[in-house]
Structure 1
Amino acid sequence: MFKIKKQISKLYMASILGNLSLTGAWVAILAARGYSLVEIGIAETVFHIFSLTFEIPSGVFADVFGRKQMLVVSSIMRVIGSICMICSKNLTMVCAAIACFAVSYNFSSGSGDALAYDSLKLVGEEARYERYAANQLILYRLCNGISTLCAGFALFVGYKIAYASDVLVTCIQIGVLLSLREIRLDHTGTDRKQEVLQSVWKELRVCFVESLRFLKKAKRAVFLMICNSFVGAVDIVLLFFLQAKLPQTGMPDSALGSSLFIMEMGGILGAKLILWCKNLRYRWVFAVTSVLVLCGVLIEHTGIAVLMTLGGFVAACSDDALQVRTDAILQEMFPSEQRATLISMESFTFSVIMIALSPLAGIVFSVW
């Protein structure tokens, strides 16, 4: 008998292990190693180039071979990336590690959400997904907050030990992922076995084509993806570069972690607040969150540490509020058999925006 609470709990645990890390403030770690903001911007661009390349294929693979299997692949790539970072001695090696982290992100970005939604749908509880999505964002922000809170300790012990600890934690995560149950649903919402087709590549092509056909008809889904990705990209860039900019205000390493932790807590507040605003129309949610994220960017340029932290807090709060509302709407629109592929297409949109934004932001933040 399928136990939905156990399945969801394991997904939460995997998320905690996947986001708890001594290397959460990776921008600060690279800055401490002597890399400039422009070089960090290049590394971030490499991340999104690889993310752009692998995002949609990873979603298709998840829909074809199974979401659980792709979550395991994601963790394996994270281990490889951490080992590459330990061995890195120049920007090229750092970018190689960043590329592995990008692929790791790709294989997990749609797989976990798709598995959770179909698990809930299997027992007729898909209405609970919005709360699940909010809880996942809360866990993400909380774990990232704890990770960035350890920024000073990570700088103290050194990047090699920090990334070695990531390898250990990720191995534990793999054990949790292997205990998950794979769920596959057909058009009627019933459980189905892995279909045996004459050609695996034929199924990959069919899944991708059907996803594009869906998006061609569902213009509202495309619009929601673009809106959410734009706001999210601005917030992520701001939070990343604040890791390097805050120490320039004279903030000591011991206080940097606390400041970054406060910003991540803004995301938790946003994920909770949006659950209390179910009757607020999406256009108003988008308008308010967009304005607040842009205000966070403007506040960053004051050069005052307290105000910069406040700006990051407000931006994270707005970004996660929009993310939860957008995810809930899109999941209701997506057909189950292409769910991971379509979620990956949203991440694909995010990566396109980030490729243009990251190097530009690196230059702007370094001179302004």
Structure 2
Amino acid sequence: MKNNILSHNLIRLYILKVSHWFMLVMPIVVLFYKANGLSVSQVFILQSLYSLSIVLLEIPSGYFADVLGRKNTIAIGAVLGFFGFAIYSLSYGFWGFLVAEVVLGFGQSMISGADSALLYDSLVDAKQHDRYIRHEGRMTSVGNFAEASAGILGGLLAAVSIRYPYYGQTLVALLAVPAAFTLIEPKTEHTRLELGWKQIVDVVRFALVKNLRLRWIIVLSSVVGASTLTMAWFVQPWLIRADTPVEAYGAIWTALNLLVGVAAMFAYRVELKLGRNRTITLLILLLSLGFVASGLIRYYWAMPFIVLFYLARGVATPILKDSINRIAPAPMRATILSVRNFIIRIIFSIWGPFYGWLTDRWSLTLALASAGVIFVILSTLTFIALIKVEKAD
């Protein structure tokens, strides 16, 4: 019976992952913004405000998932996601896009953390929690395969009309609603937290103050997550600088996300082969190199370094999330994962507009190189702090 619940939830979690990552709009989103009169700075400001909207509900939503149930919180997020893209498809300027991004941000915050926590709880319920990295890796892989497939279709739709991908995205978002409402809450052996802001503060204090090992794993995972999010918004300006034909955007976006998907599938093998610390060291080097090289090297000579960046991205997510899940107590797991996502969005909301300003005011080269330098400093200092805490324990 418990294995049946696991299988039932896995199917629906895969549908949710696909509906979230089958992003018809992503390969052409910067072109769409430019067609509606937005500058690069406005693009990063818009995404920064999206991140801030996620921040407003990120930790409370993870806490609601711990209190009210993962299923209910995910269902709310799915409904908001549908309405967000519906608003987007009917908007034609910065302020309309902003309203859509806020709704999407609230929806994303309700799902993030709750989905990973429900997956982990389902595995615990079926006594298969040691297989989490494998399943999280597959989830990440499926999401990126979905995004890769959407890249081709999105490019074809955009060739007809730059707005068609947004109409299609609204229909894709609708698929998540029945999947979310038919999830089954696993009966894990823990008592749900009480509902209250004091309890939220207690969980955050536990994650970032009391448990030093958990603190530094969360911060490291957040810095890595913010870096991959930043690169996702740099790729299209980079393609524009390289004079890439519009019809090639979808194919390039597809290829990059296929790389992430393949890497995520083998993330657990990489960690088994190299060990966690060597794997993280390699990830920091590859991500930093991707930023700096793509900034300094013009045209397609930089593409191998972007490829390495996306391979590192695929490996990083399941490994770092597993490190958090192994330490996080079950009653707090969704909240703690939301703390991670909260920090990712805070970092991006601070640095994103700065990188956009550097691009518009100076150059894309300076913006990318600066992002690489900032990332390598933050990630290295955080990783050193984590190693020191673990040695002390």
Aligned to 1:72: 75
Aligned to 2:370: none
Aligned to 2:213: 220
**Residue among 213, 216, 239 paired with 2:232:** 239
Aligned to 1:299: 293
| Amino acid across the alignment from 1:95 | L
Q: How does 1:99-114 map to 2 (within 5 A)?
A: 99-114=102-117
Aligned to 2:371: none
Provide the rounded CA distance (Å) in 2 between the counterparts of 1:272 and 1:255. 26
| Amino acid across the alignment from 2:8 | K
CA RMSD across the alignment: 2.1
TM-superposed deviation, 1:42: 0.6
TM-superposed deviation, 1:175: 1.1
| Preserved CA contact (<8 Å) 1:67 1:111 | yes
| Amino acid across the alignment from 1:236 | L
TM-superposed deviation, 1:239: 2.2
Aligned to 1:94: 97
Aligned to 2:52: 49
| Preserved CA contact (<8 Å) 2:123 2:129 | yes
TM-superposed deviation, 1:280: 2.8
| Preserved CA contact (<8 Å) 1:48 1:102 | yes
TM-score (norm. length: structure 2): 0.85
- Size of the aligned set, in residue pairs, is 358
TM-superposed deviation, 1:38: 0.7
Aligned to 2:375: none
Q: Report the 3-state secondary structure (helix = DSSP H, G, I; strand = E; otherwise coil) of the residue aligned with 2:274.
A: coil
Q: Identify which range, 121-130 or 143-152, moves more after superposition.
A: 143-152
Aligned to 1:333: 327
Aligned to 1:364: 358
Q: Report the 3-state secondary structure (helix = DSSP H, G, I; strand = E; otherwise coil) of the residue aligned with 1:301.
A: helix
TM-score (norm. length: structure 1): 0.90
Q: How does 1:14-25 map to 2 (within 5 A)?
A: 14-25=16-27
1:162 aligns with 2:178: no
Provide the rounded CA distance (Å) in 1 between the counterparts of 2:153 and 2:357. 27
Provide the rounded CA distance (Å) in 1 between the counterparts of 2:128 and 2:351. 39
| Preserved CA contact (<8 Å) 1:251 1:305 | no
What do the CA deviations read for 1:127-171 (whole angstroms, capped 9, x no partner)? 111101101111121112222333422422435432222222222
Where does structure 1 lack aligned partners over 5 or more consecutive residues?
none
| Amino acid across the alignment from 1:180 | L
Provide the rounded CA distance (Å) in 2 between the counterparts of 1:10 and 1:169. 14
| Preserved CA contact (<8 Å) 1:237 1:358 | yes
TM-superposed deviation, 1:229: 1.6
Q: Identify which range, 222-231 or 112-121, moves more after superposition.
A: 222-231
Q: Identify which range, 221-230 or 271-280, moves more after superposition.
A: 271-280
Q: Report the 3-state secondary structure (helix = DSSP H, G, I; strand = E; otherwise coil) of the residue aligned with 1:150.
A: helix
Provide the rounded CA distance (Å) in 2 between the counterparts of 1:308 and 1:96. 36
Give the 3 Å change call, closer, same or farther, for CA 27–184 of structure 1 in structure 2.
Answer: farther
| Amino acid across the alignment from 2:251 | S
Give the 3 Å change call, closer, same or farther, for CA 215–249 of structure 1 in structure 2.
Answer: closer
Q: How does 1:255-266 map to 2 (within 5 A)?
A: 255-266=248-259
1:31 aligns with 2:43: no
Give the 3 Å change call, closer, same or farther, for CA 31–15 of structure 1 in structure 2.
Answer: same
Identity rate, percent: 19
